[in-house]
Amino acid sequence: MAPHVAQNLTPGKRRRVDTMDRGEVTIRDYSSLIVQVLHSRGRVTWKHLRKRLRRKFGDKWEQRLTAITHFNSLVELCLSLNLEVSQHGASIPGSAMYLGRLFRKNERKMTIHELRKFRHEIALYLSLQLSHIPCLMEIVSLACSFLPFESTQQDYEITDTLRSERGLEKADGNLYELHEAVHTETDTEVVLEVFHIEENGVLPTFLQRELAMSSILHKHANIWQIIDEIRLPDRIIIVRHRVECTLSSIITMHGALEIGLIKNYMHQLLTFIHDCHSRNIICDGISSGSIYIDENQVLKITRNPANFYDPPERLMADSEARRTLVSSEKKDVWSLGCVFAKLGKGGWLFNFERTDVQDLDVLHKIFKTLGTPAIHTCPNTPEMQDYFDNQPCYPRQPIHELVPNLSAHGIDLLEKMLTFDPKTRISAEEALRHPFFDDLRMPEL
């Protein structure tokens, strides 16, 4: 399905493309796909090859294979094509030695541009070696560097539409679409974020910051890396690697997480924002809905500003100038404190509801839980004197009772992260040294 067709799907409806609708397949179709995959890779695991066959020929590809041929398995088909097979997968005859020695790169960390160049290097080098033509790898790499690798919208085939709606903060009120797709040339499973823009070629501020952060932290283990970017007059398409789900969806499905997993996730998150802060980057937009999890339990972080995760100093600032004035690295610590509490409680610490859309509504809920602060301990209070004069003085609720899944060290760290005054709020670097993470640190020799 072409990308522009997917925009007509019902918002939120998931649809899987079944290529079996395109007509009957033959043994030549199966063989051609296997050869095509190996031509660009040299070798492939059985797991990946089966996934590729399933996507191309449908869930019943194996039954159809045995029905139209005398082969009883994928291994037998590969042997008939004179391929080298092992318990791990199949490879082009004679290629294993070259691939094992030269191509130990992690494709998962590559951009689409890097991946396409890498695949071309493999294909060209293998062709030369198997034809007994000596050539240095450096020459092959140099030759491939001159090939054009700019992506277009047609390079991606959409397999599922996850979201298509207006009004999201992430879309700044414009249409925002989220698709699962495949980069057809490299067979890379990706996510496409489509941001529609009203002014020709002018990117919203939040998207400019997202691109800048991705550029600076390009290869960080915890960033949801932008691996491709397609700019059109009326929209921009951001491409990222496929991930499993959001942290928010995990909490919704399972409630409070077990303490070991919470430590793992919070250590990753604090490490990420510490690395950002050491590069003078304020994330300003981390939420449980913008934190994704891959198949290896590695968190992948992007930005999605939401006032439920804003600290009091931001919620009290009633103008863009004042918001800029109070913006600091400690905002990110408060945001992660909100995530921390959700992981331990299985829901909002501050009992937010969808109707709490105004900043003062959010602030009111925070005070009802953490207690109304004294004026001298709360930032921005000169501008908020009327608010304090007209609101009840709420007592502080016992956090250890609200988040019973956390240990004493966990509660202590959470309270330090959710301190009203940013000057005394713990930093990410200090939080990583907190006793809560003692069992994650390597013992000294």
pLDDT in tens, 206-237: 788 888 888 888 789 999 988 888 888 888 89
pLDDT of 2: 31
Which helix (H) or strand (E) covers residue 194, if one does? strand 188-196
**Dist CA 417 CA 415 (whole Å):** 5
Q: Which of 206, 226, 241 is the last residue of a domain?
A: 241
Cβ-in-10-Å burial (0-12, 13-18, 19+) of 42 comes to buried
295 and 388 both lie in a single domain = yes
Confidence band (pLDDT; 50, 70, 90) for 408?
very high
pLDDT at 15 over 60: no
Q: Which of 292, 277, 333 is nearest to 310 (CA)?
A: 333
Say if residue 236 is in the same domain as residue 250: no
Judge if 231 and 275 occupy the same domain: no
C-alpha 302/C-alpha 286 separation (Å) is 7
Question: Residue 152 has what pLDDT?
Answer: 85
CA distance 343 to 222: 18
> What are 378-396's pLDDT values in tens digits?
665 555 556 666 677 889 9
Percent with pLDDT over 90 in the chain:
28
431's enclosing H/E stretch is helix 428-432
Runs of H (alpha helix) within 279-328? 312-315, 320-326
Residue 110 has a pLDDT of: 77
Q: What pLDDT sits at residue 12?
A: 34
* Structure-model confidence comparison of residues 209 and 119, the more confident one: 209
Provide the pLDDT confidence category of residue 8 given band limits of 50, 70 and 90: very low
375 φ/ψ angles, rounded to the nearest 5 degrees: -55, -40
Residue 249 shares a structural domain with residue 231: no
Q: Domain span at residue 228?
A: 153-241
Residue 132 or 182, more confident:
182
Does position 350 have pLDDT exceeding 70, yes or no? Answer: yes
Q: What is the pLDDT of residues 76-109, one digit of tens each?
A: 888 988 888 888 888 877 655 555 555 556 667 7
Kindly indicate the confidence band of residue 36, based on its pLDDT and cuts at 50, 70 and 90. Answer: confident
336 domain residue, yes or no: yes
How many domains are contained in the chain?
Answer: 3
Contact 38, 90 (CB under 8 A): yes
pLDDT at 420 over 80: yes
Same domain, 62 and 99: yes
Least confident of 35-44, 291-300, 337-346: 35-44
Query: What is the reported pLDDT for 435?
Result: 96
**pLDDT recorded at residue 328:** 85
For 165-180, the pLDDT digits (tens) are 776 556 566 788 889 9
Alpha helices in 175-311 (DSSP H): 205-216, 247-254, 259-278
Q: Which residues contact 321 (CB under 8 A, 6 or more apart)?
A: none
* DSSP code at position 279: T
Both 417 and 393 in one domain: the answer is yes
**Is 148 contained in some domain?**
no
Does residue 56 share a domain with residue 19?
yes
**Residue 206, pLDDT score:** 75
One domain, residues 365 and 276: yes
Tell me the whole-structure pTM to 2 decimals: 0.74
> What integer pLDDT is reported at residue 445 of this predicted model?
41
Strand partners, 245: 293
Give a yes or no: residue 296 inside a domain: yes
Q: Which of 189, 223, 241 is the last residue of a domain?
A: 241
* 74 in a structural domain: yes
User: 298 and 256, same structural domain?
Assistant: yes
Helix, strand, or coil (residue 209): helix
Say yes or no: 405 and 258 in one domain: yes
Other CB atoms within a 10 A radius of the CB of residue 119 amount to 22
What's the Cα-to-Cα distance from 424 to each of 284, 313, 327, rounded to whole Å?
19, 13, 15
Is 276 contained in some domain? yes
- Specify whether 163 is located in the same domain as 273: no
Could you tell me the sign of the dihedral formed by the alpha carbons of 253, 254, 255, 256, in that order? negative
What is the reported pLDDT for 11? 32
Query: Are residues 64 and 97 located together in one domain of the fold?
Result: yes
